[in-house]
Amino acid sequence: MSACKKTASLLLLSVLIHLQVSAQLQIRGTVKEDSTQLPIAYAKITVLNLPDSTIVANAESDAAGGYEIRHLKKGNYALKAVLIGYREVSVPLNLTTTDNNIAEQSLVLKRDPRLLKEVTVASRKPLIEYKIDKIVLNVEKSILTNGNSVWNLLGKSPGVETSGSAVSILGTTGAVVLINGKSTYLRGEQLSNMLRGMAADQVSQIEIIKHPSARYEAGQGVGVVNIRTVRNQAEGMNGTASFTYGQGKYDKYSPAVNLNYKVGKLNAYANYSFMSIKDYQRQPSYVNYADQTVPVYFDQQQYARTINRSHTLIGGLDYTINAKHTIGFQVNAQRVRRKSQYDNDTYIWSKGNIDSIVHTNSAIRYPSGVQLYNVYYNLTMGAKGSLSVNADYAHYNADNGQDYFFSYFNPNMEERKPSAYFRNEAPVKLNVKGITVDFIRKLKNDYTLELGAKSTWMENNSDLVYAELEGDKYRVDTAQLNKFDYTENVNAAYFNLEKAFKKWTVKAGTRVEQTIAKGSVLRQNDIVDRNYFRVFPSVFAQYVVNKNHEFNFSYTTSFERPNYNYLSPLAIRRDPNAYSTGNPFLKPSYTNTLELAYIFRKKYRVAIEIDNISDRIEQSVQQHYDTQSLQNIIANIDHCYYYRIYFIIPVTITKWWQSNITWNNYLIQYKTPYLNGTYNITKPVFYINANNTFPISKSVTAEMTAYYRTPSLNGLYEVGTRFFVDAAIRKTFSAKFAAVLSVTDIFYTNRWQWDINYLDQHSGYKTYTDSRVVKLNLSYKFGNSKLRTAKRHTIGIGSERDRMR
- The whole-number average pLDDT for the span 345-349 is 96
State pLDDT tens for residues 230-260. 765 556 888 889 899 999 999 999 998 989 8
State pLDDT tens for residues 740-793. 899 999 999 999 999 999 999 999 999 999 999 999 989 898 887 554 434 445
What is the sign, positive or negative, of the torsion defined by CA atoms of 277, 282, 288, 294? positive
- State residue 340's pLDDT score: 94
Identical fold between 3-117 and 236-802: no
- The whole-number average pLDDT for the span 293-317 is 93
| Region of residue 351 (left: phi > 0; alpha: psi -120 to 50; beta: else) | left
pTM: 0.75
Answer with the residue of higher pLDDT: 221 or 66.
66
Answer with the residue of higher pLDDT: 142 or 175.
175
Q: What is the CATH number of domain 236-802?
A: 2.40.170.20
State pLDDT tens for residues 145-158. 665 677 777 877 77
Instruction: Report the C-alpha dihedral over residues 797, 309, 277, 204, rounded to 10 degrees.
Output: -40
- DSSP class of residue 384? G
Phi/psi at 285 (nearest 5 deg)? -145, 165
Confidence label for 536 from pLDDT (cuts 50, 70 and 90): very high
Q: Are 56 and 15 in contact (CB under 8 A)?
A: no
Confidence label for 13 from pLDDT (cuts 50, 70 and 90): very low
- State residue 200's pLDDT score: 74
- DSSP class of residue 165? T
Q: Provide the pairing of β-strand 677-695 with 717-719.
A: unpaired
Instruction: Indicate the range of 65-69, 387-391, 484-488 predicted with least confidence.
Output: 65-69
Q: CB count, 10 Å around CB of 444?
A: 10
- State residue 625's pLDDT score: 94
Q: CB count, 10 Å around CB of 555?
A: 17
At residue 401, does pLDDT exceed 60?
A: yes
Question: Cα–Cα distance between 655 and 661 in angstroms, integer?
Answer: 17
Distances (CA, A) of 37 to 65, 105, 110, 316: 11, 15, 10, 23
- DSSP class of residue 73? P
Confidence label for 14 from pLDDT (cuts 50, 70 and 90): very low
Phi/psi at 257 (nearest 5 deg)? -145, 135
**SS3 category, 356:** strand
- State residue 121's pLDDT score: 38
Confidence label for 24 from pLDDT (cuts 50, 70 and 90): low
State pLDDT tens for residues 71-119. 788 888 889 988 866 888 888 888 876 656 778 888 998 876 554 443 4
- State residue 102's pLDDT score: 78
- State residue 457's pLDDT score: 96
Residue ranges per domain, the chain? 3-117, 236-802
Q: Which of 3, 20, 79 is nearest to 45 (CA)?
A: 79
Count of residues in the chain: 805
At residue 438, does pLDDT exceed 90?
A: yes
Q: CB count, 10 Å around CB of 13?
A: 17
Which secondary structure element, helix H or strand E, spans residue 226, and what is its range? Answer: strand 224-229
Angle at 266 between CA 142 and CA 194, to 5 degrees: 45
- State residue 662's pLDDT score: 87
Answer with the residue of higher pLDDT: 316 or 66.
316
- In percent, how much of the chain has pLDDT > 70? 86
- State residue 359's pLDDT score: 95
Q: Which of 711, 713, 730 is nearest to 721 (CA)?
A: 711
- State residue 800's pLDDT score: 53
Average pLDDT of every residue of the chain: 84
- State residue 773's pLDDT score: 94
Phi/psi at 799 (nearest 5 deg)? -70, -30
- In percent, how much of the chain has pLDDT > 90? 44
Instruction: Indicate the range of 162-176, 280-294, 366-380 predicted with least confidence.
Output: 162-176
- State residue 511's pLDDT score: 93
Q: Are 241 and 779 in contact (CB under 8 A)?
A: yes
- DSSP class of residue 601? T
Instruction: Indicate the range of 102-111, 184-193, 273-282, 393-402 predicted with least confidence.
Output: 184-193
Q: CB count, 10 Å around CB of 279?
A: 20
Q: Which of 176, 172, 4, 16 is nearest to 539 (CA)?
A: 16
Q: Which CATH class is domain 3-117?
A: mainly beta
- State residue 792's pLDDT score: 47
- CB-based burial, 74-105: b 16+ in 10 Å, e otherwise: eeebbbbbebbbbeebeeebebeeeeebbbeb
Instruction: Indicate the range of 91-105, 338-352, 508-522, 611-625 predicted with least confidence.
Output: 91-105
**For the ranges 192-196, 305-309, 701-705, the one whose mean pLDDT is highest:** 305-309
- State residue 571's pLDDT score: 85
Q: Provide the pairing of β-strand 589-600 with 604-624.
A: antiparallel
Instruction: Indicate the range of 202-216, 293-307, 532-546 predicted with least confidence.
Output: 202-216
- State residue 640's pLDDT score: 94
Beta-carbon contacts of 736 under 8 Å, excluding residues fewer than 6 positions away, are: 780, 781, 782
What secondary structure does DSSP assign to 427-485, as a single string? EEEEEEEEEEEEEEEE-GGGEEEEEEEEEEEEEEEEEEEEEEEETTEEEE-GGG-EEEE
- The whole-number average pLDDT for the span 617-643 is 93
State pLDDT tens for residues 176-227. 888 777 776 666 666 776 776 677 777 888 888 877 777 777 555 567 888 8
Q: Are 239 and 246 in contact (CB under 8 A)?
A: no
At residue 308, does pLDDT exceed 60?
A: yes
Which secondary structure element, helix H or strand E, spans residue 192, and what is its range? Answer: helix 188-196
Question: Cα–Cα distance between 589 and 613 in angstroms, integer?
Answer: 7
